Amino acid sequence: MTADTNIIEAARRVIDAYMQRKWMIATAESCTGGLVAGALTEIAGSSAVVDRGFVTYSNDAKHRLLGVTRDTIERCGAVSRETAEAMARGTLGNSQAHCSVSVTGIAGPGGGTEDKPVGLVHFAAARRDGMLLHRECRFGDLGRAEIRRQSVSQALEMLLELVG
């Protein structure tokens, strides 16, 4: 199996699980630029469960589209647990979804610092009943494409965890 096949299979599991529950999904993506939503919508019938996706690459987009406060971004940074969680909650507030997933990170090749190196990605997944998950992954400097691929896999995994 190739990496792409693994992602498609994971996306199929997510779509099937959400179809069984009749739940909707929304995504908020920064460093993945819509790849999570793209993986989900690769699956035939996904329109029954995918409500919408937000690509909020800029800080202004995170603020305007998802309601992430400027204070959170300034105080904690765009790549932080706080921002990822605010993105996930904001996605629920701006969609019809039962569950959301957010991704914000540094895919490289540049942009990393000692505290926030290339390969650092924060994820959050939220459910309308208040359940909230967070993951911090330090993939390392594996190259932009591989960091983004692993980020999509992690986001899909978290959506499965939310649906139980």
pLDDT tens digits, 42-65 = 999 999 999 999 999 999 999 999
Q: Above 70 in pLDDT, residue 2?
A: no
* Domain span at 116: 3-163
Cα–Cα distance list, 158 to 26, 70, 100 (Å): 13, 26, 9
pLDDT tens digits, 96-153 = 999 999 999 999 999 999 999 999 999 999 999 999 999 999 999 999 999 999 999 9
Q: What is the CATH number of the domain that holds 127?
A: 3.90.950.20
Q: What are phi and psi of 80, to 5 degrees?
A: -160, 160
| CB-count burial class (<10 Å; 0-12, 13-18, 19+) for 74 | exposed
The pLDDT, as a whole number, for residue 164 is 87
Q: C-alpha 63: how far from its chain's center?
A: 16
Q: How many angstroms separate the CA atoms of 20 and 17, rounded?
A: 5
Q: How many angstroms separate the CA atoms of 125 and 117, rounded?
A: 23
pLDDT tens digits, 8-25 = 999 999 999 999 999 999
Reported confidence tier of residue 77, pLDDT bands at 50, 70, 90: very high
The pLDDT, as a whole number, for residue 128 is 97
How many distinct structural domains can be found in the chain?
Answer: 1
